Amino acid sequence: MAQPRRRGGGGHNKCPRPALLPAAALLLFLLAAVALLYVSPPPLIDHPALASSRRRSPHAPLLNSSGGGSTVVSEHSEISRVPISKEADGLWGSKFASRFYGCSNSSSRFLGSSVITQPDRYLMIVTSGGLNQQRTGIIDAVVAARILNATLVVPKLDQTSFWKDASNFSEIFDVDWFISNLSKDVKIVKELPEIGGKLRTPHRMRVPRKCTQRCYVNRVLPALLKKHVVRLTKFDYRLANRLDTDLQKLRCRVNYHGLRFTGLIEEMGEKLIQRMRERSKHFIALHLRFEPDMLAFSGCYYGGGEKERKELGAIRKRWKTLHAINPEKGRRQGRCPLTPEEVGLMLRALGYRNDVHIYVASGEIYGGARTLAPLKAFFPNLHTKETISSKEELAPFSKYSSRMAALDFIVCDGSDAFVTNNNGNMAKILAGRRRYFGHKRTIRPNAKRLYSLISNRRNMSWDSFSSRVRMVQKGFMGEPKELRPGRGEFHENPSTCICEKTVSKTVAKSNSQSEQVLSNDTERGIAIQTEQVSSNDTEMGIATSEPTVPDHTDEEAGESEADEDAPGEKEEIIDPEADDDVQFRLEDPELEGILSD
């Protein structure tokens, strides 16, 4: 008997429909492909028209804690994505520089020292900090002596601070030149003269920082009239930033003409410059502050993990006066020194080719040679005074930090382009000096804007990154009129001592467009507006005009840090309050020395 037929088409359910199999397989393949694209890393070499879609985290490590010490990471992609192109224009100087020159001659109203110097009135000072901070103290000491109509005794250098250099004034500076060159302005003697065969004990004082002309007359002069000999201790930044025009010009005469290094230091410095020029027509001098102490003090974090935190944290504990800070915030706000890698990125983005020769002026670099590796990958031709000279040549200087710093100062001053990763005393002094002597190319990093750009550089092509770096660096390249007169420290921006050549109306009209670019070419959007006044300076027969610096009264604030110069002696300290030009009290001499290069 035949089996009854099942209803409902049950025979068709024994297997899936053949048409569904290819569709399911295709769907699975597409899902797998999308997932693979999502998790795979971007290519090492960025296509100029298509940047990587992965954005680098702002906190991605710039330091690698693997191995013997923390080192800055040099990723192959950073080198491979930088094109080797023609050198950009304007890297070695400004087209406007020839229109400006240094002018520091005194006016006819500025009487000679033989007329104004009072008898039996002597000013002594003790400098503080590293070589360049001491330099500012020496400059201001000459001006202070002029304000007080006193004879200046050759300043005593700081021999006890962080830098531990026992050199005296005559072992670093040409003391005879210092005395003779400034003799028309201030009377200077090498030693305090004896009275009746006996040496007098000076009255010790400390004046406030940013002490004005009135401050010196009201506070120091009475003691000078009574005691006849006054010694001002820890003399750094103890004179107001803004003074009368003739006193500002005196500052410039001291800084740019009266102070020069000894013949031995000058000769060795010139040898180093000559050896750099033998290697290349142009060279960069890079002042690189990336010492362990500096980084520990800054409290900045460079991504080196627990190793970096422990190493720098242990150093930081030496200073009890430092408060806790947010390491990432300091980087975002541009308060941290650029790493060697970041300096390399900035310079290549500005248009410097990889065959440029760079002289590196620095102390002990945190992480050593491996920290410099990324910079060397960008610029293989790195040199230091140790690599271009012999141990025998450096022997007279190597045991003295200030003399070694003086050699670096000379080479940096003689370079075609000076670059810094910080805004310390040496950077400021050199920036002002290079403005005075022809606005030589001087590059300061716009650290706040650069940090943001560098953190996000993976999200853009190299051309885009380079263009943006050039944009944010406008106003930080050492161009004329880049800073408003009176802005910043006078040693960095000696606007009173920079004059502009008078040009004919025809030339002025043809250059009007360029002048507009010059005046407006600042990243910070500062409109440069200067009052033009007639100048008594007619150097080389050229009529000049210069901005007026108003007679401004700076805040008179003092400090009460302990003086380590002469323990046990009594010292008069005026206005024992916190300085208004620092964010915290620098009560530890070593702590202050970290910043006082």
Q: Which residues pair with 209 in a beta bridge?
A: 557
Per-residue pLDDT at 88: 80
Q: DSSP states of 221-248 as a string?
A: HHHHHHHSEEEE-S-SS-S-S---HHHH
SS3 assignment for 59-93: CCCCEECCCCCCEECCCHHHHHCCCCCCCCCCCCC
Distances (CA, A) of 351 to 237, 287, 348, 514: 37, 19, 5, 22
pLDDT tens digits for range 437-493: 999 999 999 999 999 999 999 999 999 999 999 999 999 999 999 988 988 899 999
Per-residue pLDDT at 22: 61
Q: Residue 364, exposed/middle/buried by CB under 10 A (0-12, 13-18, 19+)? A: exposed
Of 292, 337, 296, the closest CA to residue 445 belongs to 337
Per-residue pLDDT at 83: 76
SS3 assignment for 406-417: HHHHHHHHHCCE
Q: Where would I find the beta strands (DSSP E) of 368-461?
A: 382-383, 417-420, 441-443
Q: How far apart are CA 537 and CA 589, in angstroms?
A: 42
Q: How far apart are CA 514 and CA 523, in angstroms?
A: 17
pLDDT tens digits for range 297-314: 888 888 888 898 888 888
Residue 61 tokens read as 């490590």
Contact 83, 496 (CB under 8 A): no
Per-residue pLDDT at 523: 38
Per-residue pLDDT at 559: 37
Per-residue pLDDT at 573: 63
Distances (CA, A) of 531 to 252, 342, 514: 20, 39, 20
Q: How far apart are CA 286 and CA 415, in angstroms?
A: 9
Segments of the chain with pLDDT less than 50: 1, 4-16, 37-76, 506, 512, 514-569, 575-587, 589-590
Contact 276, 383 (CB under 8 A): yes
Q: How far apart are CA 267 and CA 282, in angstroms?
A: 20
Q: Dihedrals φ, ψ of 89, to 5°?
A: -75, 155
Per-residue pLDDT at 327: 77
- Return the CATH class of domain 93-101+262-302+325-514: alpha beta
Of 550, 528, 513, the closest CA to residue 479 belongs to 528
Of 279, 272, 287, the closest CA to residue 443 belongs to 287
Sequence spans of domains, the chain: 93-101+262-302+325-514, 117-240+555-595
